[in-house]
Amino acid sequence: MANVELSSLARLPSLNKLRKLELSDNIISGGLEVLAEKCPNLTYLNLSGNKIKDLSTVEALQNLKNLKSLDLFNCEITNLEDYRESIFELLQQITYLDGFDQEDNEAPDSEEEDDEDGDEDDEEEEEDEAGPPEEYEEEEEEEEEDEDEDEDEAGSELGEGEEEVGLSYLMKEEIQDEEDDDDYVEEGEEEEEEEEEGLRGEKRKRDAEDDGDEEDD
């Protein structure tokens, strides 16, 4: 809620899980006790650029037990003598004031922290993506087995079909061979009949000649 001309926090909703709150560049001058009531778990609070003038106003933040970082930059209170020492003494739970600790060590960038957390989340997501769930692997194996079975069945059906085609083909060949044999036998029989008829004719001639000779005698 930065730079929205906010003057009071009285109507702030209860946000028990809220950790970071941006209230910079508003016209807040007091009433900070509401923060402890509505946002008790704040760890980061930015009040820079507001109308906060004295320590008594900030004293209400003592009830924010989890507060680690407070920013009052560009508030009139920063013009007080021993401003930093007074704030650290008043709010002993905080570690960083205006981005620096008591020994003037700069606070880590919150965006960098978020990026690090994001990188960790990305790595976890990549690990999840790299290895599919066991159930998914089992389903894939079952599908592969089903496909193999289908291929085997198709192959066996095809094999049976080929065998049937082969048998029918052989049967046809045998039938044709039998027909050819019958033709051959029939032709042979005709020749034998012709030979028999020829022999009979010769026998008749001989008989006739013999009869003629007997008559001559």
Q: CATH code at 76?
A: 3.80.10.10
- Tell me what the mean pLDDT of segment 202-209 comes to: 62
- Token readout for 126 is 């990549």
Most confident range, picked from 21-25, 103-107, 138-142, 185-189:
21-25
Predicted pLDDT of residue 161? 47
Domain membership of residue 111 (yes or no) is no
Tens digit of each residue's pLDDT (9 = 90 or more) over 118-167 = 555 555 555 555 555 555 555 666 666 666 666 555 555 545 444 445 56
Query: Once rounded to an integer, what is the mean pLDDT over residues 101-122?
Result: 66
Number of folded domains in the chain?
1
pLDDT of residue 198: 67
Q: Is residue 42 part of a domain?
A: yes
In this prediction, residues 90-99 reach a mean pLDDT of 94
Measure the CA–CA gap between 187 and 99, rounded to whole angstroms.
Answer: 121
pLDDT digits (tens, 9 = 90+) for 166-193: 566 566 665 565 555 555 445 555 556 6
Spatial contact of 106 and 79, defined as CB atoms under 8 Å apart: no
What one-character-per-residue DSSP string does the chain give?
-TTS-----TTPPP-TT--EEE--SS---S-THHHHHH-TT-SEEE-TTS---SHHHHGGGGG-TT--EEE-TTSGGGGSTTHHHHHHHH-TT-SEETTB-TT-PBPPPHHHHHHHHHHHHHHHHHHHHHS--HHHHHHHHHHHHHHHHHHHHHHHHHHHHHHHHHHHHHHHHHHHHHHHHHHHHHHHHHHHHHHHHHHHHHHHHHHHHHHHHHHH-
- Determine the pLDDT at residue 100: 93
Q: Residue 104 — very low, low, confident or very high, per pLDDT cuts 50/70/90?
A: confident
Q: What would the mean pLDDT of 14-30 be, rounded to a whole number?
A: 95
- Which two three-digit tokens encode residue 21? 């709150």
Interval 29-44 mean pLDDT: 94
- Distance, in Å, from the CA atom of 120 to the CA atom of 113, rounded to the nearest integer, reads 11
pLDDT at 66: 95
Residue 57 has a CB neighbour count (10 Å cut-off) of 21
Q: Lowest-pLDDT range, 36-40, 45-49, 164-168?
A: 164-168
C-alpha–C-alpha distance, residues 65 and 68, integer Å: 9
Q: What is the pTM of this model?
A: 0.51
* Confidence bin at 107 (pLDDT 50/70/90): confident
| 15 in a structural domain | no
- How large is the average pLDDT for residues 7-36? 94
pLDDT > 50? residue 111: no
Say if residue 194's pLDDT is above 90.
Answer: no
Percent of the chain with pLDDT over 90: 47
Whose structure tokens read 């106003």? 57
Which tokens belong to 55? 């320590």
Domain that holds residue 30: 20-87
Instruction: Name the average pLDDT for the chain.
Output: 75
Asked, for residue 6, whether it belongs to a domain, the answer is no
